[in-house]
Structure 1
Amino acid sequence: MESQQRLLALVILVLGNGTFLFVGAVPAAQEATSSLHPVVLVPGNTCGQLDARLTDEYEPSTTPPGCGIQKQGRGWFRLWENFTALQEDPALSSCYADELRLVYDPVAGDYRNLPGVKTRVVSFGTTRSFRFDDPARKNVCMERLVEALEEIGYTQGANLFGAPYDFRYAPAAPGLASGVFSEFMSSFRLLVERASERNGNKPVIVVTHSLGGLFTMVSLDRSPLPWRRRYIKHFVMLCLGVGGSPLNMWPLAASNVGSPSSLLGSVLTYGNRSFASMFSLLPSPKVYGSRPLVITRANNYSADNMAEFLAAAGFSDDEVARYRTRALPVTLNLRAPLVPMTSINGVGVPTVDKLVFWDGNFSVKPQLVYGDGDGQINLETVLALESLIGDDPDQRYFKSILIPNTTHKGMISDEFALKRVVSEILGAN
C-alpha cells in the first residue's frame, strides 16, 4: 500500500568526486493546449518591486538633507527598484536605501517601515513586476522564464500568475507576530484559488526561485492539508536547499564597516541589517553543525555558535535574540510540503563553503574556500533537502534534479536550464 501511495523519483549518476542526481534527457516539446494547468511564479530575493509614499511623519536619517522632502504628500513612487531614476540622479541612492529600512517594534513584537513610510508590492497576482528597467535584472527575476512559458502557450492573467512579495520581511516562528508575511500567505492562497477557478478548477503548479522557495514551503506547511491537496498540482522549487549558505555570513559581517555606494549594495548588505529576512538563509545547525564556516586566528564560527558570530559582527543583544527566537526555529523546523514536488538545482559551480578572516578584520575581503553548488546554494544543503523531503513517508512524490554547470541565476536564464525547467512544468501537466 505504501509503495502505491508514494513515488520517489531520483536519477543517480556518479561523477568524479561524488554521487549526484542527474537531469536526464529533455523530453520532446509538447504541444500546448487549453488543458494546461495554471502556473503561479514566486520569485527570488529582491525581485518583488515596491512602491512607497511618504507622509509628514517621515524624518530622513541620511544625506542628502533633502531626502524625501520632495516626495512627502505627493502620492506613490517606485522605491525598489528604480534603475532609470538613479541613472539620472545617483545621489538619491542613500535616500532610497534609508526609505527601505525597517525598524523592530518591541511592543508589537514585529518589524515595520520607518515612521512616515508606507509601502506596497507592485502588481501582485501578475508577472508584470518581474520585468525590471535595469537590464542586469532580466536574468535574475524570472523574466526569461515568463517568456519561455509564454512560448508554450501560457498567457499572463489567464493561466500564468505571479506572487511577488516584500523581500525585507520573513516568516517568524509560530506564535510570533509576522504581519507582512501573514498577509503574503493569505494573498498567495487566494491567488492560487482564483487561478484554479479561472481554469476550470484545475489545481495549480507553483514554481519558485531561491528565497521564494522558502516563503512557499512555509506557506504550504501552514496551510490546511485538504487545501494543499485540492489546489496544488505540483510544487517546482528552483535553487534552494534547506540549510542556508555560508556565503550569507559575509555581507552581514561586512555591513558593520561602512555603507556601499550603490542602492543594490545597500539593500543586499547594509540594508539587510535592518531587514527581518537577513537571518532567513544563514547556515542551519541541522546541516552544518559545528563545522567551521568563518575562520579567524582567535575564533572559529559555525552554525552551532552563530549567535557568537553575529555578536562579533556587531549585532546587538536584541538582534541576536531575534535570530534565536524568530528565524532559527523556522530554519530548524522546515518540513515536507506534502504535495507533489520537484526540486531543481545547479551543481558543478564553485560555491563559497568557508570564509577566512585570519586577522579577525571583517572589513577586508576574506579568503574564500569553495565547495560545490550553484555559486550561491551549496550542494550540501540540497542533499539535506533530499533527506528532509524524500524520507517523509507522507510525501507521496518527490523528484530531485541537479543540472551540471548551472549557476543560481543561470537556472532561470540559461537556455538549457530553462528548457529543463519548462519540461518539468509540462510534465507536471
Structure 2
Amino acid sequence: MAARLRWAALLLVPALSVILSKYSRSSIPGLLPPVVLVPGYATNELDARLTELYRPSSPRCAAHKGQGWFRLYLDHASLNNDPAGVRCFAEQMSSVYDAASGDYHNVPGVETRVPFFGCTRAIRHPDPDRGNFSYTDAFVSRLERVGYRDGETLFGAPYDFRYAVPSIAGDAFFAGLKGLVEKASRRNAGHRPGAQLRRHAGVPVPAPATPAVAPEAVRARGRAVGRRRAGHAHARLRQQPRPAVRRHGGAQGRVPEPAEQPLGVAEPGRVRSYTAHGMVGFLEATGMGEAVGPYETRVLPLFRELPSPRVPVACVVGVGVDTPEMLAYPGDNFDVAPRMVMGDGDGLVNLASLVAVDPAWRRPAADFSMVKLRNVSHTGLLVDDRALAVIINAILRPNN
C-alpha cells in the first residue's frame, strides 16, 4: 500500500523561520519530521574577500586585502573595541543599488559568501569566537534533546541578510532553500517503496514580523535604537554610518508595509506626521531619497497581497511588551534621538505587524494558527522556556 503523505507544518517565529519537510511517517514509524531553520535578520555568519579592485578608505581597511576569505560578520571583539574597525566593517558591508539592473551588489572589490549552508553552524554562533553569545543556541539545543541531529534531521539555511527579494542573491537563496528542503525530505523518507514524495513543503512564506516603526529611527539616524541594546552584537550592524544602513537591500525589505499608523511625528510647533502610506515623504524628509525608487519597485509589491500558504502554518509571536509605535522628532531634525511613543508588541515589532497575516490566512479551509505569548520579547521567543515549549510542540504536532 502506498505510504500516506501529508504536508508538515511551517512554523514562523519573528526571530527565526522553521520549515518542516514532508515525510512518510507510516513507512518509518517514529521518524522526526526533518527541520530546516532559516535564521532571523543578521543572525548568521558572512565571509568576505578583498580583491585588487577594492579601494580602501584607509590603510586599516586594507588589512585583509589579498589574504583570502575572512569572517566579515560577526567579529564581536573588533566591532566593540576598534572604532577604525567599525568604519572598515561598514565600508565592506555596504551594498550599492544599481538602478539600471534594479538590483543591489557589493562595493567594487568586495566579494562575499555565506558559509555552512545546510547545517546550523553559521546560525548557532554568528561569532564563533564568542561562544556565550547566541540567539538560537537554546532553541537548537532543545531540538537536539528531543532527538534532532545536525545534517541528518536538522538543517540550516543561512543567507546574506543584506539582500531582499527580488534580487539575484535572494533568488539564489530560495533556489538553495528549495533544494535543501527536498534533500531533507529524501534523506528522511528512507528511500523505501511507497515513500515517494509528490511535492515538498519548502514554499517560501514571508514571516509576518515586519518591523513597523523602530527600524525607521535606525535608518534615519544610522545608529541603534535604545541604549539598552548597545551590548548586543546585533546592534553593531545598526550602528554603521547612515549611508551604509541605507544601502542594504535587506533594510529596504524591512520598511513597513502601508498602514494608517503614524511613523514619525514632529514636536508641537512644527507638526508633521507620516503614516506608512506616506513612506516616500518620510524617506525624502530624512535624507534617504535614494531609497524611494527601490521602495516603490521592490518593497511595495511584496505587500500588495498576502497569498494564503499551501501548507499548514503556525505563527508564534510575543505580545505585551512595550514596543515603539510612533517616533516624535523635534522639528525636522531627524539626526537626534526621537521620543518613542510606545504600544503593544514584542519590543521590536508592533502588534499590527505581528498579526498582519491573521485576517488573510485565517479561513475555514486553511490550516492556520497563531499563538500569542504574553510578556515574551522578540528574541525571548527563542530562550524563554514557555515559548520554547510552545514552539517545539508546534514542530512535533504533525507527528501526533
- Class of the TM-score when normalised by the shorter of the 2 chains: 0.7 to 0.9
Distance 2:294 2:202 in 1: 36
- Is contact 1:355-1:367 (8 Å) kept? yes
Give 2:283's match in structure 1, choosing from 310, 325, 334. Answer: 310
Tell me which residue corresponds to 1:188.
177
Tell me which residue corresponds to 1:241.
208
Tell me which residue corresponds to 2:53.
57
How far the C-alpha of 1:91 sits from its partner, in A, is 3.0
1:173-184 correspondence to structure 2 within 5 Å = 178-184=167-173
How far the C-alpha of 1:229 sits from its partner, in A, is 7.2
Residue type of the alignment partner of 1:157: G
Whether 1:377 and 2:349 are equivalent positions in the alignment is yes
Distance 2:318 2:343 in 1: 13
Measured at CA, do residues 301 and 233 of structure 1 come closer, stay the same or move farther in structure 2, by a change above 3 Å? closer
Structure 2 runs not aligned, ≥5 long: 1-5, 7-28, 192-196
Tell me which residue corresponds to 1:331.
303
Q: What is the SS of the residue equivalent to 2:40?
A: coil
How far the C-alpha of 1:90 sits from its partner, in A, is 5.0
Measured at CA, do residues 88 and 375 of structure 1 come closer, stay the same or move farther in structure 2, by a change above 3 Å? closer
Once the two structures are overlaid, the 10-residue window that deviates more, 266-275 or 148-157, is 266-275
Measured at CA, do residues 277 and 86 of structure 1 come closer, stay the same or move farther in structure 2, by a change above 3 Å? closer
How far the C-alpha of 1:136 sits from its partner, in A, is 9.1
Give 1:149's match in structure 2, choosing from 143, 148, 157. Answer: 143
Measured at CA, do residues 233 and 191 of structure 1 come closer, stay the same or move farther in structure 2, by a change above 3 Å? closer
Tell me which residue corresponds to 1:66.
59
How far the C-alpha of 1:137 sits from its partner, in A, is 7.7
Tell me which residue corresponds to 2:249.
276
Query: After superposition, what is the alpha-carbon deviation per residue over 1:17-70, rounded to whole angstroms, capped at 9, x for unaligned?
Result: xxxxxxxxxxxxxxxx85101000001010121111111100123xxx213423
Distance 2:164 2:385 in 1: 31
1:246-261 correspondence to structure 2 within 5 Å = 246-255=213-222
Measured at CA, do residues 398 and 234 of structure 1 come closer, stay the same or move farther in structure 2, by a change above 3 Å? farther
- Is contact 2:178-2:203 (8 Å) kept? no
- Is contact 2:50-2:66 (8 Å) kept? yes
1:22-421 correspondence to structure 2 within 5 Å = 34-61=30-57, 65-86=58-79, 89-130=82-123, 131=125, 132-133=127-128, 138-140=133-135, 142-172=136-166, 178-200=167-189, 230-232=199-201, 240-241=207-208, 244-255=211-222, 265=235, 267-269=237-239, 270=242, 271-285=244-258, 288-289=259-260, 291-296=261-266, 297-316=270-289, 318-391=290-363, 396-421=366-391
Query: After superposition, what is the alpha-carbon deviation per residue over 1:73-99, rounded to whole angstroms, capped at 9, x for unaligned?
Result: 211000000124446755312111110
Q: What is the SS of the residue equivalent to 1:304?
A: helix
Measured at CA, do residues 201 and 348 of structure 1 come closer, stay the same or move farther in structure 2, by a change above 3 Å? farther
Q: What is the SS of the residue equivalent to 2:56?
A: coil
Distance 2:43 2:69 in 1: 19
Q: What is the SS of the residue equivalent to 1:294?
A: strand
- Is contact 1:235-1:340 (8 Å) kept? no
- Is contact 1:50-1:80 (8 Å) kept? yes
Distance 1:149 1:169 in 2: 29
After superposition, the CA RMSD in angstroms is: 2.9
- Is contact 1:242-1:334 (8 Å) kept? no
Distance 1:313 1:340 in 2: 41
Structure 1 runs not aligned, ≥5 long: 6-32, 173-177, 203-227
How far the C-alpha of 1:365 sits from its partner, in A, is 1.8
Q: What is the SS of the residue equivalent to 1:231?
A: coil
- Is contact 1:243-1:331 (8 Å) kept? no
Tell me which residue corresponds to 1:15.
none
How far the C-alpha of 1:378 sits from its partner, in A, is 1.6
Q: Percent same amino acid among aligned pairs?
A: 37
Aligned residues: 355
